[in-house]
Structure 1
Amino acid sequence: MSAPGSPIGRASPLESTLRELRDTELLYCPNPGNAGDVFITCATYQLLDRLGCRYRLIPIDSPAEATRGRVVLYGGGGALVPLYGAATRFIDAHHASAAKLIVLPHTIRGNETLLAALGGNVHLFCREMPSFEHVKRHAAAARVDLDDDLAIHFDCERAAREAEQRFWPFVSTPGLAWRNAKRAIRGIPALLAGRAEHRLTALRTDTEKTDIGLPRGNVDLSNVFNVRLLDPLHSLEATWRMMRFIDRFDSVTTNRLHVCIMAALRGKRVDFLPNSYGKNRAVYEQSMAGRFANVTWCESTPPLPTTTPAASV
């Protein structure tokens, strides 16, 4: 096992693995989900390009025959938990026939039967210690490493430069004009609520939400900036748009892991709260504590404006 935070100049376990595969075409299946997963996907493209890897995208419903004898990457995220099924189904369908299956840094809970079935051709990267310990316990034949969530090392400035060259300021492209108009409308409550304190509240409204009352002006950014197409162009556009929205604020309160990571990278003050099953705290302790002085872990809710149990926009 190798932990993040290696001395400068030493590659992470994931980087070392990918460098060894630079002469091989990789079949990459991004992990679908919300805008946090889009952010991870965008960071993955940055990493693959920086390392000089050759890759081709494949859809999550690809048949096993499409990956037989090939090296497959499954995108990082938090999908290998009992709440979700798409990642489990993909790995179950492809692990036996692929020459090598690499699962990029993930949170992993449950899935004991699948983990026990994985062979030595499977390399699982876990993004926090509880996942690492769980996988080591149940995936006896697979290779397991610990590494950062890929978004932690995202190059915001590089992404901004590339996006500004590719996209128009408001609409991005004619085809994305209506989508960005809807994003702007859905972001208005947060802009109005945060005017006085320049604070953004972005709390979850999905299956990983907690019992926190949602304040007026709450906007679940990972829903607002989500896209279905996870190719390099669309993942860059959505990630850049979310980054620009966060840049309007000085501080952020969130229980969305990747809103926290992006806000931390942008130098915002962040109050980071738990999600429903412990993922946030585990990633914070593994990769953020001691690295981002501007992020504060909050086991309980910090003072917020008047709250309401109703779902946010």
Structure 2
Amino acid sequence: MFGDKQINTLNDLSGDITVFCREKVSYNFVKRNFLKGNVYLWHDCAFYNIFKQIPDGLGILNTFREDKESIIDNVPEDNNDLSYSGYATKPLDELVNILKEYKEIHTDRLHIAICGALLGKDVKLFPNSYYKNKAVFEYSLSRFLNVSFLEENND
């Protein structure tokens, strides 16, 4: 997420600077406001993981945020916010082992959605409190037939 503070920081740096943006909203903002260096639109680095397709799991994994980026009014009772539970700091294999157990993943966590997409899971991605999820869906995840973006929350 880019704003004036981040642009000022970039513009104050010296040397050759290259910025990669993973969606068009940030890319357009940085391209207009970054006074030096190069700006590229590029898929999130998580897309460069290669996973074997795995057999369908069972059931639905609800893994919604429980922080300030969440806009979900009613988090499901069986919610398991994997990223918040420490999986963001563990080896990727541990996250994959959890996700592979399920047939479908409902989330507003971008990297959970990306991992689920790459594993061939049915993924329903929900919006977060700003443009990130929708913008990355439009630029990258929309090419996956197993991923859909739901504009409304999961009431």
Q: TM-score range by the shorter chain?
A: 0.7 to 0.9
TM-score scaled by length of structure 2: 0.87
Partner of 1:226: helix, strand, or coil?
A: helix
Answer whether contact 1:198 1:250 (CA < 8 A) is retained. yes
Answer whether contact 2:123 2:146 (CA < 8 A) is retained. yes
Percent of paired sites with the same residue: 33
RMSD of the TM alignment (CA)? 1.7
TM-score scaled by length of structure 1: 0.45
Confirm whether residue 254 of structure 1 aligns to residue 149 of structure 2: no
> 2:145 corresponds to which letter in structure 1?
A
Q: Who is 1:288 aligned against? A: 141
Q: Who is 1:226 aligned against? A: 88
Confirm whether residue 137 of structure 1 aligns to residue 65 of structure 2: no
Q: For residues 285 and 247 of structure 1, do their structure 2 counterparts lie closer, same or farther at Cα, with a shift above 3 Å needed?
A: same
Matches of 1:148 and 1:133, distance apart in 2: 15
Question: Mind listing any 5+ residue stretches in structure 2 that lack a counterpart?
Answer: 53-57
Moved over 3 A (4+): none
TM-aligned CA deviation for residue 249 of structure 1: 0.6
The structure that has the greater radius of gyration is 1
Q: Judging by fraction of residues, say which structure has more helix.
A: 1
Question: Mind listing any 5+ residue stretches in structure 1 that lack a counterpart?
Answer: 1-80, 82-107, 158-196, 228-234, 304-313
Matches of 2:16 and 2:98, distance apart in 1: 41
- Select the structure with the greater relative contact order (CA < 8 A; seq sep ≥ 6): 2
Partner of 1:214: helix, strand, or coil?
A: coil
Matches of 1:204 and 1:155, distance apart in 2: 25
Q: Who is 1:277 aligned against? A: 130
Aligned residues: 148
> 1:139 corresponds to which letter in structure 2?
F
- Alignment of structure 1 residues 146-295 onto 2, 5 Å: 146-157=41-52, 198-224=59-85, 225-227=87-89, 238-289=91-142, 291-295=143-147
Partner of 1:270: helix, strand, or coil?
A: strand
